[in-house]
Structure 1
Amino acid sequence: MGYPFTTGDVAYLRSPEGIAAAAEVDRLPLTPASHLADVTAARGLAGPRAAALVETVLLRRKAAAKVPTPADWLFTADALQQATPWPVAVARARRLAGRAVHDVTCSVGVDLAAAAEVAALAVGSDVDAVRLAMARGNVPGAAFVRADALRAVTRGTVVLADPARRDASGRRRWRPSDFAPPLDELSAAYAGRDLVVKCAPGIDPDVVPWADELELVSLDGAVRETCLWTGSLATAHRRATVLRSDGAEWTITDADDDTCPVRPVDQWIIDPDGAVVRAGLVRHYAARHGLAQLDEHIAYLTGPTPPPGVRAFRVLEHAKYTEKALRAALSRRSVGRAEILVRGLDVDPNALRPRLKLRGPEEVSVVLTRIGRTPTAILCQAERIPDDVTI
């Protein structure tokens, strides 16, 4: 929710007077402990504009993870919360390089700013006059028009859209008809056009049959979105793109080899990135790195050498899983802390952990899974594998 900005607030915040006042407010600590004193100081500086100034400074401080230079950006609280993290926006924009791009739900302009850096032309539109006014200042190199996303106001452009996925109560919306604008209506409005739609990671592919490619994108291990691509933009049916804040990235598609054996537990266990799992590309990832599946229906992989740049699990021992046997194995190793990962078994790690009666100085990771019909416990040591080191 946050402060309800007006277009008048935006004009003030972009004026020399507002810019100078924001710089003064930014000198304040703006902590919970100093809140009353800071608000009083802001009111003395800017009177009725104080709330807009304080909110703007606080949002800019929060925005460092979303945009590279937030110091001169304007946001609303909801727009910042919903904005795409910058590395994700940049990775998507790279596929639009050299094209004319129209962001039909541009909001305050984060996705548009990334596209504008590589596009031949960048156009933004939105129905929200305040967000559109903010975007004009945030992305000065783009052209803007106030328009409904379902109204085609450009020709020959790639259409980029990020439909809203929360209702007024803040609950997530998963049905395509509940998105704003609705996904099927968006697809129909731009039939025959190259279309890119940012969606929630959990969207069911069956409800968007018009999407030619589904790309699952993760950042620093967290799956952030499913991106739907149509027309000439689609270069695969399913894709996983894995990004890190340090700039490292890689991608894999269903066009890659998926020759992957099923083998017993080897020296390492690898839990593929969530984007790979959700995209249904576990076998393709395994084939790329010479790994095998423990079970053809389970996403855990095993092999003698882990891929570079991942958190992998060096196997210490493994056996058929029973709670009693696992408790005894952990006791023998003097384990006082255990990370518990579960896939393929009906086990609640939070409920199991206190029953294991962990005591001691050691720490392990416990992988609980099913291999064939056998519930299996694998005790491991988690290790971060460097990008440039092969074990």
Structure 2
Amino acid sequence: MLCWTVHLKGGPKRLFHAALAVGHRVYSFGGCGSVNKRDQIDVHVFNTVSLRWMKLPPVRNGKGASSFPPEVPSNRKGHTAALIEDIIYIWGGLVSIEVEEICNVLYAFDVNTHRWYRPKISGTAPEARYNHSACDLGKVMYIFGGVNLLTGYTNDIYKLDTTTTVWSLINTSGVPAPVSLGHSATIIGTKMFVFGGKGYRSHHNNIRVFDTETSSWLSTPSALPCLPKGRRYHSALAYNGELFIFGGDNLRLERTFSDLWKFNPQTFSWRKVEPKGKGPYWMHRMGICCVGDRVILFGGYWTPDDLYILDLSPSLKTLCKTAVIQHGLEQLGLPHDIRWELAAMTNRKQRKENSLLKRKKEKNDNGRERVPVSGAEERDEETRRTPPLKRLPSFR
């Protein structure tokens, strides 16, 4: 049983950011609502034990309050991050909206020392692009698709061998995945599974599979009985050999999705998953990481400072704590360590909301005029009205 267990507000406001997990910590790089190349990229760290955020101090070079060394990347959107051993590689992204300046410099971040540096690279590097995908297998980072200023939408694959820091364009065989931005690429075993994204005329909802051992695109079924709707800017991750897809949006349908789908590579089939608990209403342009059996989702277009945790295998203790929070139950009689954990699973704003929720329930129980516990709870899942998508020309 899958269950939404944590919802925290007041974190860093993020969208179009890059995030990944290192041990029990989640690192978030850049993003947010505006881009100024004069500002260095910000790094936020979420501790999945204490359930609290911290921001790493900026790097200065002594030439002024806003000056930073060249080995530190500037702030950006639509970039990617890949973890190989103890190094996080940041590549691509839009660094200036005004002139649509895109970056193709490779940056490296040491998670042990929190030190930035620029590896000396060689070979055939990909053209600068944004809203592409990146994934890692062994000591190799793969870059697929995205948008560049030369050819527009792309569907080529580059790889970076981090042992030699040599870039190369992969000469693939088979029918490639269509050109797209805002898709996802996820490694399962030795294969890369590409899903969704927006092309020139449509939003894709097919799965394409790239075999990293043979450098070939595999043939896949053209029609499946049950498919998610075409989408871009969704979130994806691999867990126990299966692919999970969260949310996304579709401009043509003018819809933002809050659904969760699971894809089984063995049977090549999709299944819609309905977790218990209260998750985000709309999920797109969010950061996603998996820490053990927990999925951490944060940021996004409609809830830029919210963080949610989906437990893929919740314990009875976790389910009980979730019930205490969601129903505003009394906590004074609980052990101190349990009360601490409950406090960590919420923040001050949510504790105030829970207190109001409890008073509303008590008012209802006393027979007075009924006050809805939550307007959101009374909305039917199928009749929710998706807010109109704001169109951002630089990020289509």
Name the one with the larger strand percent: 2
TM-score (norm 2): 0.28
Q: Which has the higher contact order (CA 8 A, sep 6+)?
A: 2
Name the one with the larger helix percent: 1
